[in-house]
Structure 1
Amino acid sequence: MKYLDLLTVIPGIESPKKRLNFNDKLKWTGLILIIYFILGQITVWGVSQQGVAQFQFLQTILASRFGSLVTLGIGPIVTASIILQLLTGSDLLQWDTNTPEGKRLFMGTQKLLAVTFCIVQAFAYVSFGAIPPNPGIPFSTFVVIAQIAVGGILVVLMDEVISKWGFGSGVSLFIAGGVSMQIIQKLLNPLVMPRGGTPHFPKAGDFSSGYIPRIFQTLLSANPMEVLIVFIPVLFTIALFFIVVYVNSMKVEIPLAFGQVKGFGQRYPLNFLYTSVIPLIFVRAFLANINIMGKMLANKGLPILGAYSGGTPQSGLMYWIYSPKVTTPRIGLFSKMIINAIRGSSLPGITLAWIPYTIVICAGAIVFSVFWSKTSGQDSATVAERIHSMGMSVPGYRRDKRIIKRILDRYIPYLAVLSGLFIGLLSVFADFFGAVSSGTGILLATMIIYRMYEELAKQHMEDMHPALRKFMGS
């Protein structure tokens, strides 16, 4: 039995037999997103809830909810994809992902690795104390591992459903959905959320945890400094949204001409953010997995990657590559500097940890951006083949895909590097300035939703309701 035949034995989702219209994709996307949120509310039976909170800060990047059936989130999928990206990008696995057989090999192996990592990571999380089982329940360790692994496999299958029957990918959808839910909660929540206490409505001297009700409460309390503290993250969130939308609209256009019809042509757009948000998801998820590993080792008395306090590294390797924090949890370091300058207080120091953190994020994003452009069919050779098969050529040159590739080589390799570098820098600046939810989470969600909007406008405009079509067209 060949390896490719073995991959077909793995349970999977069948592709649709015909083209799906907008309504069909919308139904499947909405259904899977609802199921994902429901799974996130189902607590794993037999888990000690006291130890779960230490990793809640990683939930945005991994699209997970620790202690629930989606504890692993997109971690196994991204880890499997990272390994294959590195192996194929370095030619250790010489699979041509532009051929049907190469695609089946890549996608089948990725699913096999993802399912394997669901089991391995579930075992590691429980065994090393990231998800501690309740010692008072018989066989709790085995039961918790089984539940987390099954939940992870369900996420793998739901990602495949979205990829074949919905919009975009499950990885992107789950991140955008989780961040959007956090933003709604942090903007509108009217309750006071005390640490370790019971949520309740505001009493005298209390403020709601939601930014919008808190702004009105601070205005009524005539406390301008508190108004500023609350308003700055909202302002930075809005600014970050417009920056991302503007940068997404930047592109290089290659003029093309139809070979058989003279006088007619079009332009082939190459976006400045050529590889989109995928490299940032990969590098963030990769660092999140390393951070979890470091915390688990520290819990076992092996601070190889660093010593931790409340889930935050205080020394070692992870201290230098982990996002630096400020003492005020609702605002970023830049916001803290503005507020202290207005108050006349001493400015907070910019720790040296920002330098290696920035280098690691940007370098990782560049590497994954280059590999992703090769394995996802966005390299010069594949794009040239696609343009040539459409019967198009570059004006002033004969119709030859080698010439098209030579023209594309002037742009695509550099766009892949610049795309990774810019998205990495933008992520660091988002963390530095601070925003509602996390800066990186806002960045990821905005880019994912914008790319989904572009996909809808490009592929499904004719399927939409006239009112929605008018809105999308505007």
Structure 2
Amino acid sequence: MVERRPNAIGLAIMATIYWGALFYWLRDDLLDGAADEQTRALKMLLVSFPYVGFVMWSAMTDLPENIREIPYLGRSLKGVIWLVFVLALAYWGWMDEAAIGYLLVGVALLGLGASMSMVCLLYSGTESSRLYGLSRLVDVYPSITKPEGHVRFNQKLWTTVLVLIIYFMMTNVMIYGLSSSTLDIFSSFRAIMAGASGSIMHLGIGPIVTGSIIMQLFAGAKIIQLDLQNSGDKQLYQGVQKLLVLFMIPIESIPQVYGFLDPSAAVISEYGIGWANAIIVSQLFIGSYLVFLLDELVSKWGIGSGISLFIAAGVAQSTFVGTLSPLPTVQGSPLSFQNPPSGTLPMIFYTLRTATNSQLVSENGFELILLNHANPVAALASSILVFLVVAYAESSKLELPLTHGKVRGHRGQYPIRLVYASNIPVILMAALLANVNMFTLLFWSHPVLSTVPILGRNGAWSKAHWFGAYEVGATTPSDGFAWYSSMVNGVGDWLIPLLNQTGDAYGHSLGQIMVHVFVYVFFMTAGSTVFAKFWIETTNMGTKDVAKQIERTGMQIPGFRKNPVVLERILERYIPPVTLFSGAFVGLLASGADLLGTVGNATGTGLLLAVGIILRTYEQIQKEQAMEMHPMLREFFGAE
């Protein structure tokens, strides 16, 4: 085993980047300010050094045993000191409002990320990855306790139901101090990101999925050099991913308060703009962290995955409302032929009952029912089609025959599904595109990020229009890479312009529209294929894990020796190809569903995910019931 040594060059680069960014933040006061402004800015710059030093010392050093044995305080002493440090920075910001952003973001948040990076670069030892430098932080990270034994089915069911109730309650807790004029960056991806706009669940599952994307890309590219078949490496991988999620919550929260989730005038007048923004960010942080804990709670004590549960709940709600809502399409206006009910079925009955034959013909009544309504019949038909296709795909599987090595005549099968990688690759790819949309929007309209060279709209050598251009007050791109890779949401985005031989609302030509369709389908298909491969490697679904799983039960493939190596070679013929095919299939299916559109603005991808999640959850419930009745099955499924 090669011993790793500290990376001095990487350490110098990271330190230069971090303190260079802080200096750039304070450059006006340091270089051109008055004497008192220069002194204040210098103090603000210097406070980052003890903060970063303390975080690095905490991650690299164990407390003495006699201190760790102090009741209640010993094992959490480092965390308490860090919290006191952050509260001191917050108090400084309270006394000097102009410094609040720099102290909490530049020092507390970015300093934490820089410290962790430098700890990894300073790691020395024989382990495979420098991430082992963060092992002390991973060990003390607060998380939901894993059950020590078997959790009964009824308890799992009630835990899942309770989490779902809490989720819906949180989507109705609106952010305190929020202005009435807000913009939802994730409006196009709301069905996939879950949560609710303007609530403490505004970010939804975004930080969790973004953290997972980063870790999977790093693991797949061998940047972090972890062997996920090794239990120790896998445990570290999951722990670092939790730390990354905790870091991504404020990273995604803070940009929201600059032009998108603005504080109200009353809160600004009472607390000042700096603290008004901090109040909104803190609520977003609390909501997102609770989502993270609820996801862990479902994964360990419930049925299925919390992320999947939240997506299915949101899409089911949108689909139900879009199909059956009797409320007018334009809120506040009475029902009329031009303003029918917003739900598909009430709209059909109302229009056919109140409109005359001449109105249906002369005023495009049939076109309204079929295509032009907010939830037309075409969207309902495509929703039903998506449901049937997903149900068929989920039920398609290849079954490997198995026999018991000691019990003659005892046979079984190991199913390898057509959708082997499940719907997780689509979730990850859709979240990646949502992040592309978010960051290109920030570089286009954020008051600070828009001045970044090359990327920013107002920066030097700006090429921002290549990455993504936006209309005033819009959160969906109108040009650039962000537009070409953005979701094609229904036939109104592509088929209607083609039939009418006109461009879209942004003035794109028919050729550009078709390129948009092709690029989106390609990215969803190729991206889902890549994420399917990464996902299988980071879960217990790879060939080596499945071979061990089958071997533990005493089963073997008839005609072959009972040897895990032989079994693994046989599985290699099936699992890797099916994994790649399943990723491409669900990506193509999701993008195709988006092209057709769905009711309730659930998006085709959202509906595909929801249907797959519901079917998988139903099968999981059946498996849990089977394990409850036949305890011997728990060993096969790895439940004990």
* 1:84 paired residue among 215, 228, 237: 215
Pairwise mapping of residues 322-471 of structure 1 onto structure 2 (< 5 A)? 322-325=486-489, 328=492, 333-334=494-495, 336=496, 346=501, 349=510, 350-436=513-599, 437-461=602-626
Residue pair 2:263, 2:277 contacting (<8 A) in 1 also:
yes
Per the alignment, residue 343 of structure 2 pairs with: 210
Pairwise mapping of residues 284-299 of structure 1 onto structure 2 (< 5 A)? 284-299=430-445
Match of 2:470, as an amino acid? Y
Counterparts in 2 of 1:434 and 1:256: CA distance versus 1, 3 Å: same
Per the alignment, residue 116 of structure 1 pairs with: 247
1:21 equivalent in alignment to 2:138: no
Residue pair 2:402, 2:556 contacting (<8 A) in 1 also:
yes
Q: Displacement, 1:414?
A: 0.6
SS in 2 for 1:65: coil
SS in 1 for 2:212: helix
Distance 1:352 1:95 in 2: 39
Q: Which moved more, 1:169-178 or 1:259-268?
A: 259-268
Distance 2:254 2:525 in 1: 32
Counterparts in 2 of 1:7 and 1:457: CA distance versus 1, 3 Å: same
Per the alignment, residue 290 of structure 2 pairs with: 154
Q: Which moved more, 1:281-290 or 1:129-138?
A: 129-138
Match of 2:150, as an amino acid? R
Q: Displacement, 1:392?
A: 1.8
Counterparts in 2 of 1:434 and 1:326: CA distance versus 1, 3 Å: closer
Residue pair 2:398, 2:415 contacting (<8 A) in 1 also:
yes
Distance 1:44 1:251 in 2: 46
SS in 2 for 1:352: helix
Match of 1:384, as an amino acid? A
Q: CA-to-partner distance for each residue in 1:328-357, whole Å, 9 max, x for gaps? A: 4xxx645x489x5xxxx5588452111111
Match of 1:237, as an amino acid? S
Q: Displacement, 1:451?
A: 0.7
Counterparts in 2 of 1:213 and 1:462: CA distance versus 1, 3 Å: farther
Per the alignment, residue 318 of structure 1 pairs with: 482
Per the alignment, residue 469 of structure 2 pairs with: 307
Match of 1:208, as an amino acid? P
Q: Which moved more, 1:35-44 or 1:170-179?
A: 35-44
Q: Displacement, 1:22?
A: 2.7
Distance 1:31 1:201 in 2: 38
Counterparts in 2 of 1:203 and 1:354: CA distance versus 1, 3 Å: closer
Q: Percent of counterpart pairs with the same letter?
A: 35
Distance 2:623 2:328 in 1: 44
1:278 equivalent in alignment to 2:424: yes
Superposition RMSD in Å = 2.3
Distance 1:87 1:312 in 2: 29
Q: Displacement, 1:409?
A: 0.8
TM-score (norm 2): 0.67
Counterparts in 2 of 1:106 and 1:246: CA distance versus 1, 3 Å: same
Match of 1:441, as an amino acid? G
SS in 1 for 2:181: helix
Q: Displacement, 1:142?
A: 1.1
Q: Displacement, 1:378?
A: 1.2
Distance 2:554 2:488 in 1: 52
Q: CA-to-partner distance for each residue in 1:212-232, whole Å, 9 max, x for gaps? A: 100111222243333323211
1:252 equivalent in alignment to 2:398: yes
Q: Displacement, 1:432?
A: 1.0
SS in 2 for 1:266: strand
SS in 2 for 1:267: strand
Match of 2:352, as an amino acid? L
Distance 1:226 1:16 in 2: 54
1:133 equivalent in alignment to 2:263: yes
SS in 2 for 1:257: strand
Give structure 2 stretches of 5+ with no counterpart: 1-61, 63-132, 361-365, 451-455, 458-463, 504-509, 630-640
Q: Displacement, 1:204?
A: 6.2
Distance 2:410 2:489 in 1: 56
Distance 1:337 1:294 in 2: 26
SS in 2 for 1:254: strand
Distance 2:221 2:171 in 1: 37
SS in 1 for 2:573: coil
Residue pair 1:219, 1:227 contacting (<8 A) in 2 also:
no
Counterparts in 2 of 1:333 and 1:317: CA distance versus 1, 3 Å: closer
SS in 2 for 1:143: helix
Per the alignment, residue 281 of structure 2 pairs with: 145
* 1:178 paired residue among 314, 337, 347: 314
Q: Whose helix fraction is larger, Structure 1's or Structure 2's?
A: 2
Per the alignment, residue 468 of structure 1 pairs with: none
Q: CA-to-partner distance for each residue in 1:399-437, whole Å, 9 max, x for gaps? A: 111111111111111111101111111011101111212
Per the alignment, residue 166 of structure 2 pairs with: 35
Residue pair 1:193, 1:199 contacting (<8 A) in 2 also:
no
Distance 1:448 1:199 in 2: 36
Q: Displacement, 1:53?
A: 4.2
1:168 equivalent in alignment to 2:304: yes
Counterparts in 2 of 1:281 and 1:400: CA distance versus 1, 3 Å: same
Residue pair 2:184, 2:260 contacting (<8 A) in 1 also:
no
Distance 1:108 1:192 in 2: 49
SS in 2 for 1:281: helix
Counterparts in 2 of 1:201 and 1:105: CA distance versus 1, 3 Å: farther
Q: Displacement, 1:189?
A: 1.2
SS in 1 for 2:149: coil
Distance 1:422 1:126 in 2: 38
Per the alignment, residue 6 of structure 1 pairs with: 137
SS in 1 for 2:402: strand
Counterparts in 2 of 1:90 and 1:205: CA distance versus 1, 3 Å: closer
Residue pair 2:327, 2:341 contacting (<8 A) in 1 also:
yes
Match of 2:619, as an amino acid? E
Counterparts in 2 of 1:58 and 1:193: CA distance versus 1, 3 Å: same
SS in 2 for 1:307: coil
Distance 2:487 2:349 in 1: 31
Residue pair 2:593, 2:608 contacting (<8 A) in 1 also:
yes
Q: Displacement, 1:266?
A: 1.2
Counterparts in 2 of 1:462 and 1:377: CA distance versus 1, 3 Å: closer
Per the alignment, residue 111 of structure 2 pairs with: none
Distance 1:286 1:89 in 2: 16
Task: Point out the structure with max Rg over C-alpha.
Answer: 2
Match of 1:131, as an amino acid? L
SS in 2 for 1:444: helix
Match of 1:184, as an amino acid? F
Q: CA-to-partner distance for each residue in 1:33-69, whole Å, 9 max, x for gaps? A: 1111111111111222313245422211211223210
Per the alignment, residue 370 of structure 2 pairs with: 228
Residue pair 1:191, 1:199 contacting (<8 A) in 2 also:
no
SS in 1 for 2:178: coil
Give structure 1 stretches of 5+ with no counterpart: 465-474
Residue pair 2:404, 2:411 contacting (<8 A) in 1 also:
yes
